[in-house]
Each structure stands twice: as C-alpha cells, then as structure tokens.
Amino acid sequence: MRGGLAVLAVASLAAGCAHDASEVGPAAGQPLQAPPARALDSYASKLSAAHAARAAAARRWGLKRVPLTAPPPPARKPVITTRPGFEVDDHEEQGLPPVFTTVPTEEKIVFLTIDDGAEKDPAFLRMMSELQVPYTAFLSDYLVKEDYGYFKKMQDRGVTLNNHTLHHPYLPALSYSSQEREICGMQRVIQERYGERPTVFRPPYGNYDANTLRAARNCGIDHVPLWSEEVFVDHWEYREWDRSLHPGDIVLSHFRGRADWGGTMRDMARRFLDKVTAEGYAVARLEDYL
C-alpha cells in the first residue's frame, strides 16, 4: 500500500510542478529519499573511496600503515612568535619576521619541509601525490635552475615553493647588501618562474643574524621557520633533549638521492611517514597555519 501511495505522490508532484522541470521528483519506480540523506550518502561514499585509494597507495609505496588525514586548518591562524633564544637584538621592536621551530597547536600534526632542490625524482612526486601528503619546498636557484620544470610540476600538485636563497651561502658571513641580493634575488626567480612571490624563507644551514632578518623583511618575508627534527633515509635527528615528536613540529629533509644518502627520496618519505603515523601524527600543510 505504501508503494501505491508513493507513486500517487510522485504523480501529484509531477502534475503540480510540470511548469518547472527542475522541481520534478524522481522517476517512477525509484524510492523517495530526502536530499540531506542523499548528500550524506554521497559524502560517506566519497570518504570511503578516498580512504580506499589512500590505502592502495600506501601498499603500493611500501608503507607500514596508511597515513593519517590531517584535521581541517584552523579558522583563526595561531600566533607565531620567535622561539626564546632565537631572537636577534631588538627583534620585535624592528618588526622582524619570527623565527620558530614549532607551530603552536594542540592537534597531533607535524609539517614536512624539504630544502634546496638537488635531487629531482619524478617517482617522489607521484608517491606524495598518490598518498595525498602535503609538504613545503625551500628552493635555492643554483640547484633548481637545472630543471625548473620539475618544481613547476611540484607546484601544480599543491606544493608551496619558498625561498632558500640563490646560492645557499652562510649568510652571517655576508654584508647586509649581499644577503639582500641572495634573498631578494630568489624572490624574483620564484616570482618569474612560478608566478608567486614567497612570504616564507629559511636561511641556509639555519644560520642567520640581524641583517638576515632585516633583509628578509625588506624582501617581503613574513615567517622564518627552522625545524625541530630532521629525517634522512636511515635515521632521524632531533633538536630537543627528549628526542620525540611534538604537536606542531616542523621536520626538515633535503632533496637528495643515492649519491648523497645511499637511498632515494622515496626511502626518506617512507621513514618519515612510518614514524609519524605509528605515533598517531598526521601531516599538515605548513602554510595553512601561518
């Protein structure tokens, strides 16, 4: 009986709304379902499909576990300040960009950052894209110019390309004007090659002085992230005494291959992801928190 009433209801709706095809109900024989329920079913199906694709990618790339999905970025960005002990004279008074190793958050997330641009492994691009793992690149032109196109592909996959100077010098040994040339010069390269001017800068080797930060500020830099941990193909190194991950930690790695590491960037990514996932951390996009 309920089926007959449903058909009558559909017929009545069709007759009453024949002037507007967009309001016609489902075709005869299809069950009536409220739009919210359909939307929830569609959302659940998409989530299930996305997880299945990520699980398949994890198996394909040899991970021990499926990487965790990061929570949505905060509606209000955290306040980033310079880590105690990392200040230069009159840091705040001069309005210099903050230097930090961790982003303030209570979420179990970490950030992967990769420096310089020496190794250009197409399989690494595929791996990180298929796993949907975000990361941030800090590029030096003397290495990137060997293949600007590789990093354009990286950018097209959603990776932000940031400033790591033109030639990767030890900046505190240079004059202010020389530091400014290194930093502003790389700003121009990224703007011209990739269409976006960075606001994030990492000094080579993590070394800087007051001139570095003044030059960075004058070149348009807002943030100077360093790192809490560094990951290689075969081990981790830690800045903190407890040798542990913490919410919001920034992890450093480099674009390196077998000639330097005895392994590939994919090996580095596996070591990184296996550890953070086993410890309950997801990988988030650094720029979403700055």
Per the rule left: phi > 0, alpha: psi between -120 and 50, beta: everything else, 176 is: alpha
What does the block give as tokens for 24?
A: 């016609």
Task: Please tell me the pTM assigned to this model.
Answer: 0.84
Domain that holds residue 202: 75-289
pLDDT at 7: 36
Closest of 54, 85, 125, 111 to residue 228, by C-alpha: 111
**Residue 35 counted as domain residue:** no
Instruction: Establish if 17 belongs to a structural domain.
Output: no
How many Å apart are CA 16 and CA 23, to the nearest integer? 10
Q: How many CB atoms lie within 10 A of CB 246?
A: 15
Domain assignment present for 8: no
Domain count, the chain: 1
- pLDDT score recorded for residue 282: 98
Q: What pLDDT sits at residue 122?
A: 97
**Which pLDDT does position 51 carry in this prediction?**
81
Q: How many CA atoms lie within 13 A of 146 on its CB side?
A: 11
pLDDT digit string (tens) for the chain, length 290 residues: 444 434 333 334 333 333 333 333 444 445 555 556 677 677 677 767 778 889 999 999 999 999 999 999 999 999 999 999 999 999 999 999 999 999 999 999 999 999 999 999 999 999 999 999 999 999 999 999 999 999 999 999 999 999 999 999 999 999 999 999 999 999 999 999 999 999 999 999 999 999 999 999 999 999 999 999 999 999 999 999 999 999 999 999 999 999 999 999 999 999 999 999 999 999 999 999 99
Instruction: Return the beta strands (E) in the chain as ranges.
Output: 99-100, 109-116, 136-139, 160-163, 224-225, 229-231, 236-238, 249-254, 282-283
- pLDDT at residue 34, as a whole number: 53
**What is the predicted pLDDT for the residue at 25?**
42
* Residue at 43 is within a domain: no
Of the CA atoms within 13 Å of residue 44, those in its CB half-sphere come to 6
User: What CATH number is associated with residue 186?
Assistant: 3.20.20.370
Does residue 63 belong to any structural domain of this protein?
Answer: no
**What residue type is assigned to position 195 of the chain?**
G
Structure tokens at 273: 């992801």
pLDDT of residue 38: 72
Instruction: Say if 21 falls within a structural domain.
Output: no
Which residue spans within 117-209 are E strands per DSSP?
136-139, 160-163
- How far is residue 243's CA from residue 237's CA, in Å, rounded to a whole number? 8
What is the reported pLDDT for 48? Answer: 76
| The length of the chain, given as a count of residues | 290
